[in-house]
Structure formats: structure tokens, C-alpha cells
Amino acid sequence: MLAAVIILGTMLICFLFAKQMTQPLLKLTRATKKLKMNRVLDDSKPTLPLADSSITEISDLCSSFLTMYDRLRESSRNLLLARSEEISANLRATQSLINPHFLYNSLSSISILAEDGEDATITKMCNALCDYFRYIADTTRTLVPLKEEIACTRKYIDCMQIRFGNAFSYTCEVLPEAEEVLIPKLIVQPVVENAFKYAFNSAPPWRLHLYALVDKNYWRIRIEDNGGSLTDQMRDSILWELSHMDRTKELHNTHIGGMGLKNVYLRLTLQYGKDAIFDIDNTQKDKTVFLIGGPIQMKGAENNGKNIDL
């Protein structure tokens, strides 16, 4: 009987001692399983509970884990902020790449109009140029309402229409629900400029159609020209080159007037990552359609690092 009591007492003491050791370790294990990036970056999630223990080594281990968690949360936020600022800087860098040829051609057109005494047309073109360059000179924003971007693009098209006269015409349609959606600044004009450089090489009349809409959770803009000269091989080559280019290398190699469609693709992927939309449709007869888009963001949601994958 005495031996049995001693054994039972010893087992009870061992159980209590083991429990005192294992309980903090179990809490630490549960806390470790909760250590995910979403929790680390979520301010609404409380700090992981401290597993108190009278055993100094276990208590020190738990305290070290919590210290590591706090430092991980701080460093992750700093990394996210730095990444966001880097993307914002890259966006501003690419949107500042103005093609000087447009300005040169516009000034040449103004000179010709002046020789012909077309004062009213010169005034109209100068006003359009002033509005256009005032818009692109503002580098404080990388996201703008879609209606502002389309309005700037129309200023560019108006200058081109004065230059080409009756040989060129365009239409523009923006659905009301798409007007206030935030999109990357200067994302449409380079695609339109591409049409003037490559699509309108055939005999006129030349036509351009812009159509902006929202589809489910995405904004989309279609830029359609009647050039119809883009072959399947050229289309596949353009899309392959864009999807396989080294973004870091391209950003370091940017130069004024040398980006074009790369500029658009880079800035869409910088802003939206894998959710960016960039496609070319040449299946319709005598038409080439460029489609760009991305997830919908409204005013108050201007966060360039929102879609970053860590």
C-alpha cells in the first residue's frame, strides 16, 4: 500500500511538473501556427499572447518569440512601405517620359498654319497643347480618374486631327460608371500614339475609336484603329516580348521617346501585378484593338502598394 501511494504520488508530481512545462510550450506552438504574413500585416489582429512560465528557460523562449514577432511585423511593414515607394517612384519615372516628336510635329504644324494665316486653328491647337502639357507636367499623382485621362488623350488627338485634317476622324465613348474609376496616369495616350505611328500607314481615311467601361471588378479601355496591318506573327511577337521582358532592366534603360507600348505594359504591371490587362485583338477585318485595364479603384483608395505580393 505504501509503495502504491509513493508511486501514485510520484506520478502526480511528475504530471504536474510536466504540465507546467508543456502548457507554455503548447501555447507557443499555437502562436507559431498563427504566424502568417496576413496576420503580421493586419493591425486589427491582437499581439500574440505571452505564455507565462515559472521555468526561466521556457519564459525566455516565449519572450524571445514575441520579440521576434514584433520585429517581423515592423520589418514587414517597412519592406511594404519601401516597396510601395519604389513602385510609386517607378510609376512617376515612366509617366514622365514624354515623346518629343509630338511637340516637334505640333510646332511644325503651327508654323505651317501661321504661314497660311489660320489664326483660329492656331489658337485652338495652342490651347490643346497647353492643356495636354499641363496635365503631363503634374507628377504629384500616379492615379487619376478615368475621365481626366480620356480628356487629356482627346487633347492629344485634337492636335493630331488639326495636323491631318479630314483624313482622320475619331469617336470616344466613356460609360458613366467608369468616369470616376482611378487608373494609371498617361496610360492611354501612348497606345493612341502607337496607332498614328504604325497603324495609319495605309491610305486614308483613318479612324480611331475609344471605348471605356467597367466589367465586374475591372476597368477596361478599348483603343480601336482601322489600320488592320497587324499580322498574327507581329501580335504574338509583341505580347511575348512584353511578357518576358526584364522589368528592372527596362526601368533602368528608359529614355525619352523610347518606350511606347512598353511604357504602358510596365506601368500596368507595376500598379496591378498579375491582375493587369493588356491584350491585342487583330481578328476583326481591317481593325486592330488594344485592350488595357485593371482592378477597379475609386477615390480614397490611392495606394500604390495595395496589390504587391510579398
- 99 pLDDT exceeds 50? yes
Q: What is the DSSP string of 76-89?
A: HHHHHHHHHHHHHH
Q: What is the CA radius of gyration of the chain?
A: 30
- 186 pLDDT exceeds 90? no
Q: How far apart are CA 269 and CA 272, in angstroms?
A: 5
Query: Structure pTM?
Result: 0.65
CB 159 within 8 A of CB 170: no
- Binning pLDDT at 50, 70 and 90, where does residue 169 land? very high
- Binning pLDDT at 50, 70 and 90, where does residue 289 land? very high
- Who has greater pLDDT, 290 or 202? 290
pLDDT of 136 reads 78
- Who has greater pLDDT, 9 or 211? 211
- 42 pLDDT exceeds 60? yes
- 148 pLDDT exceeds 60? yes
Pick the CATH number of 98-295 from 3.30.565.10, 3.40.50.10490, 1.10.1740.10, 3.30.420.40: 3.30.565.10
Q: How far apart are CA 32 and CA 19, in angstroms?
A: 19
How confident is the model over 103-113, as a mean pLDDT? Answer: 81
- Binning pLDDT at 50, 70 and 90, where does residue 294 land? very high
Domain ranges of the chain: 2-42+55-82, 98-295
pLDDT of 258 reads 44
At residue 51, the 3 state secondary structure works out as coil
- 306 pLDDT exceeds 50? no
How confident is the model over 150-174, as a mean pLDDT? Answer: 90
Question: For 78-97, how does the pLDDT look when each residue is reduced to its tens digit (9 = 90+)?
Answer: 666 555 555 555 555 455 45
Torsion of CA 115, 117, 120, 125, to 10 degrees: -10
Query: Could you check whether the bond before residue 295 is cis, i.e. omega within 30 degrees of 0?
Result: no
Average pLDDT over the chain, rounded to an integer: 78
- 168 pLDDT exceeds 80? yes
Considering only 22-31, 83-92, 161-170, 265-274, which range has the smallest mean pLDDT?
83-92
CB 96 within 8 A of CB 123: no
pLDDT of 80 reads 61
- 198 pLDDT exceeds 70? yes
pLDDT above 70 as % of the chain? 69
Which is it for the CA torsion 123, 127, 128, 133, positive or negative? Answer: positive
pLDDT of 285 reads 85
How confident is the model over 148-169, as a mean pLDDT? Answer: 90
